[in-house]
Amino acid sequence: MASRAVLATLVASIALSQSAAAQSEADIKRAMGEVAGELQQCSVYFLVLSSCVAGQEPDLARRYRDMADKVADLAISSGRAAGVSDKAYAALGSLLAESMMKSMDGNCTNIAVLLKKYMNFCQRLSQDADPRLKEWVACARASKRTCGGP
């Protein structure tokens, strides 16, 4: 009898740990998807900045373009790990660019609108995305729908 109780407890414990592991894996996948989306926002932000300064500051525009490419690579690899298709990535990029241009009333003179919203966040994220991923994992585990960001 005692051995059955121990066996039942062991089986229940294994089932719970597998369930917790599956939940943890789902949380990590969600966090990766969220960070991928934020990286993509930053990539588009850097592209818009690049376009806006290209006429006056070609070297600065090139640095922004390089940053956009670097961040886009991270966004694509993180997104793929989270199950984001190339088609979905392209569609979101288009929507983000439209939204950012609209927020500036289609005029780069109003770039301050984007700088205020994205500059600090995107600088931190582009330097090291790991802390942001950890934040998102904690938010996912706490069943939060949002976790700060731009």
Per-residue model confidence as pLDDT tens digits over 9-35: 433 343 434 444 456 888 888 999 999
| Angle (nearest 5°) at CA 36 between 32 and 40 | 175
pLDDT tens for residues 37-89? 999 999 999 999 999 999 999 999 999 999 999 999 999 999 998 999 999 99
How much is the pTM? 0.83
Query: Among the residues of 55-147, which ranges form H helices?
Result: 58-81, 86-103, 112-127, 130-141
Query: Where along the chain do its domains lie?
Result: 33-139
